[in-house]
Amino acid sequence: MPPRISIVIPVYQNEGSVAETCRAISAVLDPHADEVTHEFVMVNDGSTDRSWEIMKELRQTRPEQFTLVKLTRNFGQIAALLAGYTHAGGDCVVTISADLQDPPELIWQMFCAWREGRKLAVGHRTARNDGWLSDRVSRSSWWLLRRFAVPQIPRGGFDYFLMDRELKNMFLTSPEQHIFLQGRVLFFGYEPFLIPYERLKRTIGKSQFSSMRKLKYFIDGFVAYSFLPLRIVTGIGIFLFLASVIYGVCVFIDVLLHGRGETKGWASLMVVILGLNGAQLLSMGLIGEYLWRTIEEIRRRPHFVTDQVLHARRSQGEGRAGEPDPPA
């Protein structure tokens, strides 16, 4: 039998694009059915629109090709991907969004790279069409992460990739609570096969990845793979300590030589006090980010809770043969 690709798609408020995404992917892979088969593992991440109903309609057309997972609420994209990876039974796994901004044509190129022995094939963005401000912020964020946290990240970042089943299993082994997807995929040391592409403009729906979620994800990447913020705080502390010692010595010498203390300069004194207090609060905030994530790791709360799973109906010898579906 030819190898199977599992297409893992997190779905959140994608009623307008999820069906078209599946059709576009099938249009790329169906002509190569003698070389590769594919399955869809779609995770409904607490959508409140008609996404789940549309997913079930898609499954009715090809019940052997769709595995649907429904989470009890919105746990976030990374949690949805973990749920999808858990139910992906393919020889390799492709991660793609349901917003039609990533061209499905790249999946065949990724598969060809995997067939040649690559464990990881990455579609990395060389350009975006998300608006001038969003593009600049994204480029700056990925540059900082690449420069100071995960040097292996390609320019422009990525979230569209194929990984071998072995790498997927390692990814699922003891995942941390706040996962930085790109850092964890690259952590295992497999050199990625890079496929450049231009991210398309979104034409259906709108992004549910808010600015606050993007900021948290950026912080997750820094905290998980870099101690630079703590070292900056340490450097500021050392600098302020040395500056205070030098200033104290200068004041002491001035008193000895002139016999008077400093009676003026209250404005400058207030500036110094406010500056020091601000530095202390900033330091406490940075340290708190690390402590909070440590506490989350100790708690070990589940990444997601599954409400329902509709397995693909496969023939004998293909895994879950004849497994009944739970009530829809």
* pLDDT tens figures, 135-145: 777 788 888 88
User: How would you list the strands of the sheet with 160-164, edge to edge?
Assistant: 193-198, 120-127, 160-164, 92-95, 4-11, 37-44, 66-71, 306-310
Q: What is the pLDDT of residue 321?
A: 37
Residue 83 contacts residue 44 (beta carbons within 8 Å)? no
Q: What is the pLDDT of residue 324?
A: 39
Q: Model confidence at 229, in pLDDT bands (50, 70, 90)?
A: confident
Can you give the pTM of this predicted structure? Answer: 0.78
Q: What is the pLDDT of residue 200?
A: 74
Task: List 162's β-bridge partners, or say none.
Answer: 94, 121
Task: List 78's β-bridge partners, or say none.
Answer: none
**pLDDT over 90 at 165, yes or no:** yes
Length of the chain: 328
**pLDDT over 90 at 119, yes or no:** yes
Q: What is the pLDDT of residue 265?
A: 61
**pLDDT over 60 at 213, yes or no:** yes
Span 255-270, pLDDT tens digits: 777 765 555 665 567 6
Higher per-residue pLDDT: 54 or 317: 54
How far apart CA 232 and CA 218 sit, in angstroms, is: 18
Distances (CA, A) of 244 to 235, 239, 250, 251, 269: 14, 9, 10, 10, 12
**pLDDT over 70 at 17, yes or no:** yes
Return the residue matching tokens 């307008």. Answer: 16
Q: Model confidence at 124, in pLDDT bands (50, 70, 90)?
A: confident
Q: What is the pLDDT of residue 209?
A: 60
Q: How many CB atoms lie within 10 A of CB 155?
A: 14
CA dihedral 210, 216, 219, 221 (to 10 degrees): -80
Distances (CA, A) of 212 to 38, 139, 293: 35, 17, 17
- What are the φ/ψ torsions at residue 132 (nearest 5 degrees)? -60, -50
Q: Model confidence at 161, in pLDDT bands (50, 70, 90)?
A: very high
**pLDDT over 50 at 114, yes or no:** yes
Q: Is 301 helix (H, G, I), strand (E, B) or coil?
A: coil
How far apart CA 43 and CA 67 sit, in angstroms, is: 9
Residue 100 contacts residue 203 (beta carbons within 8 Å)? yes
- Round the average pLDDT of the chain to a whole number and report it: 83
How far apart CA 139 and CA 153 sit, in angstroms, is: 12
How far apart CA 29 and CA 61 sit, in angstroms, is: 17
Residue 9 contacts residue 97 (beta carbons within 8 Å)? yes
User: 327 is written with which tokens?
Assistant: 């009530």
Q: What is the pLDDT of residue 105?
A: 93
pLDDT, mean of residues 317-325 = 43
Q: State the amino acid at position 199 in one-letter form.
A: R
Higher per-residue pLDDT: 192 or 328: 192
**pLDDT over 70 at 90, yes or no:** yes
Task: List 319's β-bridge partners, or say none.
Answer: none
Q: What is the pLDDT of residue 285?
A: 78
